[in-house]
Structures are given as structure tokens and as C-alpha cells.
């Protein structure tokens, strides 16, 4: 019977036989789980509200932008209006529900080059786009690039909060990117 079951392991009847044989060999009787069924009942209410500790992931966000009023604010970085804060900051405009972030370890970053005069802006640039972030010691460095046709333009992100006495800085992805250069002779543009 064991050879017959191995030859036709895909059939449902044989799966039960193999399970029964395994239980007989160990001397224990265990209930066989059906892997096509959930182990516990699904609670539909969990889909409607996030669970404790269920925070948004770090990284680019296509659903956040600066409000028109925030775009008019002065910036310490060239060619950009920008803001770093909590998701509920009135400077942020969300295209859907406001994400839940951990206030102890996450911040929201949004920027816009729309309406900014920018010396050195490439002719084929669609404006500034979020490229990513990196951690340097206690600091977080947000990196911006030239947005180009065929690549997504990203105006914001959820980033980690700096550690200890760290700061959030912004820098261009390369020397040819005009967006995000510091107004003073600093290495990076300091946001907070």
C-alpha cells in the first residue's frame, strides 16, 4: 500500500493514508491539518483598521505631495520647496488615507520643484524626484535626482528619524543635479 500511495501522492485519499501510516509508525495519533484551509478563522475587522505596531514601511511614497501653500515657503535648499514632519502636518496633501507612522522612529518628507526657478536645470528634466535615503552615523540623508520621462516622479517618502542628536539632510544624487544644493557653503542642505 505504501508504494501505491507514493505513486499516487497527489490524490486526496492517498494523502490521508500516508498521514495515517505516519501516525501509526510514531505511535501517536495527531489530527492532520488540511493545508487548503486557514489554520484560524479570518477576522475581517483586521482589514479595516491597522493593528498595534502596524506602521507604514520606509521608502518612496507616490501618494504624498506638498500643499500649494507649502510650495510657497522659503527653503534652505536650491530649487525646492520641502517639508519634513509627521503625516498629519498641514503642509502634506495625501491622495488617500494618511498612513500610520511610528512617531518615535519615522518622519514624512515631501518636496516640489514646481514653480521654482532653477539655474542649471536640464532641458529634459521633469523636476526633482526623490531617489532614496541613507543613514550616515546618527544622520539621515535624503537624496534627490532629476526626474526624467519614463521614470516615476516621486515627491515624497517615509524616512527614519535621525538617531540621538542627528539631523535630516538633503543632497543631490550627483553634481549635475541642481536640486537640493545647500544655500551656504555646507556639504549638505540641512532640513532639521
Tell whether 54 is covered by a domain: no
63 and 84 in a single domain? The answer is yes
- Please answer whether residues 166 and 140 qualify as being in contact, where contact means their C-beta atoms are separated by less than 8 angstroms: yes
pTM across the whole model: 0.68
- Please answer whether residues 144 and 168 qualify as being in contact, where contact means their C-beta atoms are separated by less than 8 angstroms: no
Tens digits of pLDDT across the chain (192 residues): 444 444 444 444 444 444 444 444 555 555 555 555 544 444 444 444 444 558 888 888 889 999 999 998 888 888 899 999 999 999 999 998 999 999 999 999 999 988 777 887 777 778 899 999 999 999 999 999 988 787 778 899 999 999 999 999 999 999 888 888 887 778 898 998
Distance CA 135, CA 83 (A): 19
112 and 180 in a single domain? The answer is yes
100 and 146 in a single domain? The answer is yes
95 and 159 in a single domain? The answer is yes
Tell whether 53 is covered by a domain: no
66: β partners: 92
Residue span of the structural domain in which 182 resides = 59-190
**How far out from the chain centre does Cα 95 lie?**
15
Amino acid at each position: 500500500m505504501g508504494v501505491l500511495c507514493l505513486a499516487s501522492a497527489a490524490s486526496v485519499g492517498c494523502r490521508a493514508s500516508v498521514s495515517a501510516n505516519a501516525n501509526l509508525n510514531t505511535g501517536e495519533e495527531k489530527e492532520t491539518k488540511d493545508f487548503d484551509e486557514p489554520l484560524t478563522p479570518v477576522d475581517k475587522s483586521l482589514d479595516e483598521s491597522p493593528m498595534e505596531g502596524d506602521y507604514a514601511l520606509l521608502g518612496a511614497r507616490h501618494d504624498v505631495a506638498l500643499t500649494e501653500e507649502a510650495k510657497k515657503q522659503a527653503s534652505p535648499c536650491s530649487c525646492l520647496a520641502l517639508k519634513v514632519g509627521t503625516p498629519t502636518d498641514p503642509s502634506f496633501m495625501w491622495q488617500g488615507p494618511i498612513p500610520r507612522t511610528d512617531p518615535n522612529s519615522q518622519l514624512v518628507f515631501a518636496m516640489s520643484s514646481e514653480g521654482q526657478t532653477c539655474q542649471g536645470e536640464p532641458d529634459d528634466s521633469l523636476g526633482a524626484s526623490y531617489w532614496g535615503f541613507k543613514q550616515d552615523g546618527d544622520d539621515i540623508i535624503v537624496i534627490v535626482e532629476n526626474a526624467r520621462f519614463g521614470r516615476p516622479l516621486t515627491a515624497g517618502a517615509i524616512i527614519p528619524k535621525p538617531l540621538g542628536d542627528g539631523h535630516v539632510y538633503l543632497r543631490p544624487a550627483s553634481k549635475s543635479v541642481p536640486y537640493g544644493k545647500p544655500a551656504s557653503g555646507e556639504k549638505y542642505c540641512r532640513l532639521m
